[in-house]
């Protein structure tokens, strides 16, 4: 338990009470978004529309948008219409003092660090999509299906008095990898991982990569991405023990490329395992992966976190990225690797599972577990 | 020497005589193309236009095109106009009996095998771009910069009496890989290779992949491609000894994907080396790679076979595929691999260096070395 | 009234009874698809999954697929998973004798003509997406929001005894155009239409256009498309009178191009009107367009058939094609035309509103109006 | 004659002397580029490499690049390598005082106006690719094949004393249109033009349109583009008389869209003609178009300015944009228009013919005609 009160089931009762009585004023949890006009901010607004638990009440972006309505400020780039209510919200400064409890931060890394701390100090639950605090020893990088217990780390944060906290979601390419590796770690142990990514352009934010550079082309380099992909998984997949994360010990080598695909990071992975399972056993490990968080039936949870496709040319970004509303990870092509043990392909939606949806799932988990009071 | 006569320098004299007196009738070497209407056939016709040594006199494709002019039969897909003279050639059956000496075969694998043998038996020099005979023990898979001596293997072919022969060019993805590996083998020895390819759609021929499947998508599977990429390099990079190729012993693991790029195969490679050179030494090995064939100044030779780019986001298909008329291989991003020794990126133009241009270079090498008489 | 019985409200009662008692066996209307494996067939299967009124019981495609399960036979290309129940259906011959009432025909035009007649003769309601019968004088080309009364034409068909009929949906590019023109015709009269289309590649079916031809390219020609776009609207927009359609008299000039967009036909339109309304009046005509069929609240009806966007760079295929589940038509950029009166841009989802969804809406209309008995 | 001296043939002699004696010091004409790092600047540097008459000696871009080598400052995006000599040039301020004669201005419109005037005042021949001065009454918008005599307008500019001048090249979309219309005007007269453009993304400069907005999409709006396309052609196609241009009187209606194509503007055009020629006569007018400038054999002139393609699905950006090194305009699909007289499709390379190459051709024409002294 992170905090002394309230007891978990009391919190759940509260939530359920409020949710059941959804016609009353302020039954939903008020939430806000920092960096609301960017591509991840837009995706969050899309996903929060009609969310059963959360109500969007606060939006902030760069200073020059202050005072505008969101509709005026944003260059909306999603295929569903800008939700009307969000469009009418006025953009405010990126400062605490707003009447909401959970803050989703999609700020650029350059400014995210300090702003997120300010909000945590002021008692907000900050779900950060920036890399700024990910490697801080007291900040968990959470994937609820993988490391829900890392949440305990929050008790080490200096914001306890105010009940504020910072929780990071992983790098968008690390999420699909970590989810695919998790069952292999649980069942067989993983000693080495070689990964080559083909990352969608939405991962570069907006405006991101000029179309002149990406149409009919591949860019075999993404600033700082290989560094993150080789470091974050150790922490994500590590073990929480005595108030700290013991990083998962395995070797990771990555190569990251940007490809002309709108959404969906495809990763070609080779792994060396501690035990030597058959291919059938590996596939079974994925198919039977059923982490405890699934039992909570969170609104943003996928039906299943992992799907294995036996059809030889799957997964493909266009065909599987939207699986379970973009929250499932698709795996395919498992076969022997001549150098390590097995190779396979994994795919995840980078702005949903890899960013906005992943952050939302963390928030839902926190609420369900009683760590958000309002 | 493969054949007793003519001595090499005599042949060269003949060629040079003829080339110098280029205004006379039939001074160029007459050549033909099987499978002329496909994407590789079209590329060959483009490259043969105004070729200083070769004159295109014979074209064949599927039966249903017989008797049509090439212009009528082809759905020309290249950005330079269909050469006028080629457009007027009548398509003939895929059978020997035509008045030319070198036959470029761009036939589908399903039919290439027998037709190529028929031409070789009839005394033609067949440069095959199909996979049919590549793994035959007496057929060299040639890259003149890598294994010019493999040509000796031809003496084992049963067509000696007629002076016919079959020579294969490698799989389009294997060419870039083998060229990048060759200097590493020469300098340091290579023990293991892990390669992930992102292959251009032109490699799938015409019509190839439906645009519905490839726009905004990646297909992580190419029929039989990984098999070829894991097998051909051993032979290509092997040593010719006593009438046979001793395959180069190293482990290769490959994953092949199809990406929405028109031309240019990008490959992300990790290698384990026998010796442990510094990164500078590896780069120097590539930059100083100057195989003997360069001395011959063949018309289709690149200025340099390999270029190393130190700019961190190169090579890119769109920017480097046309380097040295599409015949150079571009390399970049050399850095330590956490699992093997080094990782890097390599790029080659798949329908030029990887197919039509690669075949042309073989033919030029043969002519220069005196193995083509006309 | 087309048929003497049952009276419309009786039929409605029946439907509503069955729908309300949806837990009972066979309460849904059994339907089938001819040409089920193509891109429109796939889209229909997607849209029929969980349809409140229809149950898919019969699938047919080319002869070579007979006896296979749909899952085995299809190369599924949609971003949502193949519905499980449809995947298990066995493909049967394209022949009457199957136990269902409505037949959606997505057959290629070459074979659709006769097969559709055979089904109509056998008493099936055939909703045809092929062009074969569109210009037959007794076959309505229906868009329920535009010309619901054209259904009367069916009484002229020779299948009355068996209660069978053939109803066509328009060409995919004609649908967006006709819907955008309809309010202008009602309010102001239309004398001339100049339209340039930029059509998505899914409109070419599967495999359709090779990716080699369409990546980084535009093809300014679509076989027979301009002919259809210049002829069908006259009939679609015509008036039903005394058992025949009086074509709407206006001049149409079209130019059709294929663009590298997955879904969504964009059309740049100039119109000459009989009256001379202000731009505001034109926009109001679109925004207030509320055809009677909207009152029926059919399952596939869009919330509104037409949306006008005042943002200067809309509509865009990627942003608006999925509006109202792909059934709404988006319009934008209304401004004076220097040659005709006004110009504007219109967009519609070609495989939903323009094909499968448009056909489904017709079927729903027929059911609601009491013309389908089961 | 614009200037009193030197007489035209004297100038030609000078040029030819210098060109013939090309081994001597400073035989080439020194030229410079303003806005050298953008997409048009890059294209100019590519085209100037090995130019027979011009030598690049001066490059300028934004202030923040001053003092850097061009190689350091540019994000080179062209498929041929950055020319070595240009790469080593130091970027200097955008101010007169540099030792060259011709200045190509690829500056953004916001700053081009004043800077170009400063250079003209200082005696430089400024070829402007910006829109700033195009509609100035004393600045010709030149296409040498269309309106070479408009050069006379320069005598009205206030820079005569210094021999400086400003000459504009047209908007990139106007060039293809004006070239296609010119023979029709000469032969039949043109009364109305309806044009819908599908413009390549390179036309938006660099970085231009984010790939997120353009992959799998079309944007049916380009800022200020329709305004230019409806105004510039009148001046371009007008008649020079008594020191002024009499605009060509015809009605133009345009709709401009941005499409996911790297290079090549495709335009769908309908025209009303004063006379009523047959389709054969129209095609003949294009095919026989041989403007006097062709006689000058300028280095950048296409073999023919216009090509008509009878194949029904041409021209296509990918197949024809590079025709005659990107300087030819391709036309196809001539057929009757139901509203105006004829409709057709035209294509031109927007950054070569439509920008850098078009500017170069103007400069070459000026040199050949004796208006550049050095």
Nearest CA in chain C to A325: C80
Res D7: pLDDT: 36
Report residue C104 as tokens: 């959606």
Nearest CA in chain C to B39: C212
CA distance B165 to chain A (A): 35
Q: Choose the catalytic residue: D172, D194, D250, D349.
A: D172
d(CA A225, CA A193): 16
Report residue B333 as tokens: 């991003």
d(CA B341, CA B197): 19
Which chain C residues touch A322 with a CB distance below 8 Å? 79-80
User: For C11-84, where are the E strands, in sequence order?
Assistant: 29-34, 54-60
Crossing angle for the helix pair C172-187 and C225-236, nearest 10 degrees? 40
CB distance B212–C216 less than 8 Å?
no
CA distance C93 to chain D (A): 36
Q: By three-state DSSP, how is residue D290 classified?
A: coil
Mean pLDDT of the residues in chain B: 92
- In which band, very low, low, confident or very high, does the pLDDT at B11 lie, cut at 50, 70 and 90? very low
Query: Which residues of C are tagged catalytic?
Result: 172, 265
Do B297 and B303 form a contact (C-beta atoms < 8 A)?
Answer: no
Helices (H) and strands (E) in chain C, counts: 13, 14
Res C297: pLDDT: 96
d(CA C360, CA C301): 9
In total, the C-beta contacts within 8 angstroms joining chain A to chain B are 122
d(CA C361, CA C296): 11
- On whether both C344 and C212 belong to a single domain, the answer is yes
pLDDT digits (tens, 9 = 90+) for B102-127: 999 999 988 999 999 999 999 999 99
Res C290: pLDDT: 97
CA distance A335 to chain B (A): 10
Residue A20's Cβ-count burial label (10 Å; 0-12, 13-18, 19+) is: exposed
- What CATH number is associated with residue B240? 3.30.360.10
DSSP class of C69: B
DSSP class of D207: S
Q: How many other C-beta atoms are found inside a 10 Å radius of the C-beta of residue B67?
A: 11
> Does residue C3 form part of some domain?
no
d(CA D157, CA D160): 7
Pairing mode, if any, of strands C239-241 and A265-273? unpaired
d(CA B154, CA B163): 10
pLDDT digits (tens, 9 = 90+) for A252-308: 999 999 999 999 999 999 999 999 999 999 999 999 999 999 999 999 999 999 999
- In which band, very low, low, confident or very high, does the pLDDT at C99 lie, cut at 50, 70 and 90? very high
CA distance A321 to chain C (A): 7
When pLDDT is averaged across residues A172-193 and rounded to a whole number, the result is 98
What is the count of structural domains for chain C? 2
Report residue A92 as tokens: 């405010």
Res D141: pLDDT: 98
Helix (H) or strand (E) holding A59: strand A54-60
Could you identify the residue written with the tokens 């499709």? D345
Distance (Å) of CA A138 to CA A142, A159, A162, A166, B179: 12, 11, 16, 9, 49
The alpha carbon of B77 is separated from its chain's Cα centroid by a whole number of angstroms, namely 20
* Residue ranges making up the domain that contains D112: 8-171+356-368
Phi and psi at residue B244, in whole multiples of 5°? -150, 165
In tens digits, chain D (374 residues) has pLDDT values of 333 333 344 333 344 343 433 333 357 999 999 999 999 999 999 999 999 999 999 999 998 999 999 999 999 999 999 999 999 999 999 999 999 999 999 999 889 999 999 999 999 999 999 999 999 999 999 999 999 999 999 999 999 788 899 999 999 999 999 999 999 999 999 999 999 999 999 988 778 889 889 999 999 999 999 999 999 999 999 999 999 999 999 999 999 999 999 999 999 999 999 999 999 999 999 999 999 999 999 999 999 999 999 999 999 999 999 999 999 999 999 999 999 999 999 999 999 999 999 999 999 999 999 888 65
When pLDDT is averaged across residues A49-71 and rounded to a whole number, the result is 95
Q: Give yes or no: B24 in active site.
A: no
Res D373: pLDDT: 67
> Does residue D373 form part of some domain?
no
CB distance C201–B213 less than 8 Å?
no
- On whether both B194 and B341 belong to a single domain, the answer is yes
CA distance A363 to chain C (A): 27
In total, the C-beta contacts within 8 angstroms joining chain B to chain D are 25
CA atoms within 13 A on the CB side of D115: 23
Instruction: Note if the bond before D6 is cis, omega within 30 degrees.
Output: yes
Mean pLDDT of the residues in chain C: 92
CB distance A77–C319 less than 8 Å?
yes
Q: Which of B79, B212, B323 to mutate to test the interface with D (most CBs of D within 10 A)?
A: B79
d(CA C306, CA D261): 29
In total, the C-beta contacts within 8 angstroms joining chain C to chain D are 122
- What CATH number is associated with residue D111? 3.40.50.720
- On whether both C259 and C298 belong to a single domain, the answer is yes
> Does residue A32 form part of some domain?
yes
User: For B147-278, where are the E strands, in sequence order?
Assistant: 165-168, 190-199, 239-241, 244-246, 251-258, 265-273
Q: Report the percentage of chain C scoring pLDDT > 90.
A: 86
CB distance C251–D220 less than 8 Å?
no
Least confident segment among A25-34, A341-350, B364-373, C39-48? A25-34
Nearest CA in chain D to C272: D339
- On whether both C85 and C196 belong to a single domain, the answer is no
User: For chain B, where are the E strands, in sequence order?
Assistant: 29-34, 54-60, 91-92, 102-105, 125-128, 165-168, 190-199, 239-241, 244-246, 251-258, 265-273, 306-309, 329-336, 342-348
> Does residue B187 form part of some domain?
yes
Mean pLDDT of the residues in chain A: 92
Q: Pick from B321, B292, B295: which is nearest to B307 by CA?
A: B321
Could you identify the residue written with the tokens 């010019």? B148
DSSP class of D10: H
Nearest CA in chain A to D76: A213
Q: By three-state DSSP, how is residue C350 classified?
A: coil
Q: Among partner residues C213, C216, C262, which is closest to B212 by beta-carbon distance?
A: C262
- On whether both A154 and A233 belong to a single domain, the answer is no
- On whether both B140 and B161 belong to a single domain, the answer is yes
pLDDT digits (tens, 9 = 90+) for C179-236: 999 999 999 999 999 999 999 999 887 788 898 899 999 999 999 999 999 999 999 9
- On whether both D285 and D144 belong to a single domain, the answer is no
Residue count of chain B, please give it: 374
- On whether both B166 and B232 belong to a single domain, the answer is no
Name beta bridge partners: D103.
Answer: D32, D126
d(CA D353, CA D374): 26
Q: Choose the catalytic residue: B94, B172, B250, B256.
A: B172
The alpha carbon of C2 is separated from its chain's Cα centroid by a whole number of angstroms, namely 22
Phi and psi at residue C329, in whole multiples of 5°? -105, 130
> Does residue D222 form part of some domain?
yes
- On whether both B59 and B99 belong to a single domain, the answer is yes
Which chain B residues touch C214 with a CB distance below 8 Å? 211, 215
Q: Pick from D204, D137, D205: which is nearest to D166 by CA?
A: D137
DSSP class of D42: H
Q: Pick from B226, B183, B188: which is nearest to B340 by CA?
A: B188
- Residues near B198 by beta carbon (within 8 Å), at least 6 away in sequence: A198, A218, A257, A259, B218, B257, B259, B261, B265, B266, B267, B268
Report residue C102 as tokens: 């409505």
- On whether both A17 and A106 belong to a single domain, the answer is yes
d(CA C222, CA C298): 33
CA atoms within 13 A on the CB side of B182: 27
- Asked whether residue B238 carries a pLDDT value surpassing 80, the answer given is yes
Distance (Å) of CA D318 to CA B212, C201, C208, C304, D265: 18, 17, 18, 39, 11
- On whether both C146 and C183 belong to a single domain, the answer is no
CB distance A220–B196 less than 8 Å?
no
Pairing mode, if any, of strands B306-309 and D190-199? unpaired
Report residue B207 as tokens: 């019509």
Nearest CA in chain D to A214: D211
Do D192 and C272 form a contact (C-beta atoms < 8 A)?
Answer: no
d(CA A40, CA A17): 31
Do B65 and B324 form a contact (C-beta atoms < 8 A)?
Answer: no
* ipTM score assigned to the predicted complex: 0.92
> Does residue B374 form part of some domain?
no
User: Residues of chain A whose C-beta is under 8 A from some C-beta in C?
Assistant: 76-81, 215-216, 262, 318-323
pLDDT digits (tens, 9 = 90+) for B295-334: 999 999 999 999 999 999 999 999 999 999 999 999 999 9
Q: Pick from D165, D144, D147, D148: which is nearest to D156 by CA?
A: D165
Q: Pick from D345, D323, D369: which is nearest to D142 by CA?
A: D369
> Does residue D116 form part of some domain?
yes
- On whether both B242 and B308 belong to a single domain, the answer is yes
CB distance C217–D257 less than 8 Å?
no
Q: Pick from A286, D288, A333: which is nearest to B256 by CA?
A: A333
User: Residues of chain D whose C-beta is under 8 A from some C-beta in C?
Assistant: 192, 194, 196, 198, 213, 216-221, 230, 251-253, 255, 257, 259-262, 266, 268, 270, 312-319, 332-333, 337-340, 343, 345
Q: By three-state DSSP, how is residue B286 classified?
A: helix
Q: Give yes or no: D337 in active site.
A: no
Query: Which residues of A are tagged catalytic?
Result: 172, 265
pLDDT digits (tens, 9 = 90+) for B260-278: 999 999 999 999 999 999 9
> Does residue A373 form part of some domain?
no
CA distance B179 to chain C (A): 26
Do D188 and D274 form a contact (C-beta atoms < 8 A)?
Answer: yes
Do D125 and D103 form a contact (C-beta atoms < 8 A)?
Answer: yes
d(CA D269, CA C56): 46
CB distance A218–B230 less than 8 Å?
no
DSSP class of D82: P
């Amino acid at each position: 338990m992170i905090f002394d009160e309230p007891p978990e089931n009391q919190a759940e009762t509260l939530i359920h009470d409020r949710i059941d009585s959804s016609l009353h004023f302020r039954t939903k949890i008020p939430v806000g978004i920092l960096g609301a006009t960017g591509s991840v901010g837009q995706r969050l607004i899309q996903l929060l529309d009609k969310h059963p638990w959360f109500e969007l009440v606060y939006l902030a972006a760069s200073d020059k948008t202050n005072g505008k309505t969101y509709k005026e400020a944003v260059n909306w780039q999603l295929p569903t219409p800008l939700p009307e209510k969000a469009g009418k919200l006025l953009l405010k400064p990126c400062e605490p003092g707003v009447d909401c409890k959970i803050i989703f931060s999609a700020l650029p890394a350059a400014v995210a660090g300090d702003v997120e701390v300010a909000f945590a100090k002021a008692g907000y639950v900050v779900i950060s999509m920036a890399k700024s605090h990910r490697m801080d020893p007291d900040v968990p990088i959470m994937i609820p299906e993988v490391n829900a217990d890392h949440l305990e780390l929050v008790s080490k944060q200096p914001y306890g008095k105010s009940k504020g906290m910072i929780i990071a979601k992983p790098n968008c390419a690390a999420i699909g990898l970590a989810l695919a590796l998790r069952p292999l770690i649980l069942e067989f142990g993983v000693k080495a991982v070689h990964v080559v990514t083909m990352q969608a352009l939405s991962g570069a934010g907006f405006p991101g990569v000029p179309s002149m550079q990406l149409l009919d082309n591949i860019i075999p380099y993404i600033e700082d991405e290989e560094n993150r992909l080789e470091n974050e998984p150790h922490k994500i997949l590590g073990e929480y023990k005595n108030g700290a994360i013991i990083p998962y010990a395995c070797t990771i080598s990555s190569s990251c490329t940007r490809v002309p695909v709108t959404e969906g990071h495809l990763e070609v992975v080779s792994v060396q395992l501690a035990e030597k399972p058959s291919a059938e056993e590996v596939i079974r490990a994925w198919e039977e992966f059923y982490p405890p968080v699934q039992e909570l039936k969170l609104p943003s949870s996928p039906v299943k976190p992992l799907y294995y496709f036996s059809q030889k040319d799957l997964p493909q970004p266009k065909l599987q990225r939207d699986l379970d509303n973009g929250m499932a990870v698709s795996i395919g092509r498992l076969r022997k690797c001549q150098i390590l043990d097995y190779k396979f392909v994994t795919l995840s939606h980078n702005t949903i599972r890899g960013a906005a949806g992943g952050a939302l799932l963390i928030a839902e988990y926190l609420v369900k577990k009683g760590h958000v009071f309002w």
